[in-house]
Structure formats: C-alpha cells, structure tokens
Amino acid sequence: MKFKAWFKDKTADRVLAPVRNCIANIIEPNSNVLEIGSGTGHLLFLLQKKINSGVGIDIDQNMINFANDKRQNLNINNLQFFNSKIESIKDYSDLNFDVCTSTLCIHEMEYESAIATLNQMAHNARRSIIADFSVPNTFTGKMGIEIDELISGHYSQYCTYKKNGYLPYLASLTEFSIVSTQETSVDGIKIWELKSNIFT
C-alpha cells in the first residue's frame, strides 16, 4: 500500500465524507454508476450495497491499487476500478450507466479538458452528479481552498475554473443542463445535479 493512498483514505476522504453522503443520498437504488477521479474508491464503497454496479476510474495507479485491494479484501463483486485517463471515459460508453459522478475533479483539469470531460460524461449517462468548489462563505473557507490548491499543484487550473464562474459556467458550454444545486456542510463545496441534453 502506498503512503499517498493510505493518507488520503485517513484524511481527505474523512473530510469529504459529508459531501459523499449527500451524493449517495441523491443516487437512486440499483443504479449503474461511473465515477470519474474515483481516488481510493470511497464513494463507490459507500454506495456498494445500494447500487447495482460501480466503475471507478482514476489516473493515479496507487489509488486504483488501494481500491482494488480493499475490494478484494471485502470480497465485493459489483465494483471495478481502472487506471485510466479522464479522456478515456468514452471507452466505457457501452456499459449503460445511469449516473456519472465526480468529486473535486473538474477544477483540477485544464480548461479544454474539463469541457471535454463534461461532454463525455453527458454521453455516458442521462444524469451526472458533480461535487466541486464554489464560492466559499467565509474567509477561512477561502484560504483553506487556496492553500490546498497551492499544495496540490493545480492552482493555475483552479484559478481558471474560479475566474470563469466555477462549474455552472463550464456546464453552460457543454451538453448539460443544471437541474439542481445543493449546499454542503463543507464550506466552498457544492453539489450540482445535471441532466444530459443528448438523451431525449
């Protein structure tokens, strides 16, 4: 087990637990779920008993190894985790997902890649649920996000995401319509439910 994945499981995943609980409550029972940037698999493990199947993809092989080790140790058969580039989600378009989801992933991408990823999510499922940064309500929340993004190494992408109006602006350039917006207990993070305009 790599330290980075273990540390994420013990720290960031616990901080984000309330956000993922909100996402889990929105996803309907017996759904087939595709998660973009699945990390340690925290959300899909949370959903495991509720959904029919779940596929998580992430570009970090250590995170995928962590998730697959956990899946095997728990003898879980309805989840799969793959090391894959975000752009490759089109490879899973034949699996008939009900929902695509992503947590704190879109803001990390280069502008063009974020739009392409959202469009591909719109092709993969009728519905997507995305949790990502929005305008924080407090100075503490603002500084927390700024520092986290500086440390994480994608501050430039975050600044572009913020400058352009966060997820609602990106969604307006894609095949999505925003259905609802939900505040979370984590300052500066919102959940957007989006409907794909591709499906009739």
Q: Report the distance separating Cα 24 and Cα 16, nearest Å.
A: 12
What amino acid occupies position 22?
C
**Which residues, 6 or more positions from 57, have their beta carbon under 8 angstroms from its beta carbon?**
34, 35, 36, 37, 38, 81, 82, 83, 84, 86, 88, 89, 92
- Which CATH superfamily, name and number, covers 3-177? Vaccinia Virus protein VP39 (3.40.50.150)
Q: What is the rounded distance in angstroms from the CA atom of residue 61 to the CA atom of residue 2?
A: 10
Cα distance between residue 23 and residue 19, in whole Å: 6
Q: What tens digit of pLDDT does each residue of 73-114 get?
A: 999 999 999 998 766 666 666 668 999 999 999 999 999 999
For the segment 176-183, the average pLDDT, to the nearest whole number, is 96
Strand partners, 88: none
Residues 6+ apart with CB under 8 A from 100: 33, 34, 35, 36, 89, 121, 124, 125, 127, 128, 129
CA distance linking residue 12 with residue 131, whole number of Å: 14
Could you give the residue ranges of the DSSP H alpha helices within 108-190? 111-124, 139-152, 155-163, 166-172
Of 2-11, 40-49, 66-75, the range with the lowest mean pLDDT is 2-11
pTM of this structure: 0.91
Span of 38-42, 64-68, 150-154 with lowest mean pLDDT: 150-154
Q: Which of 78, 91, 181 is nearest to 129 (CA)?
A: 181
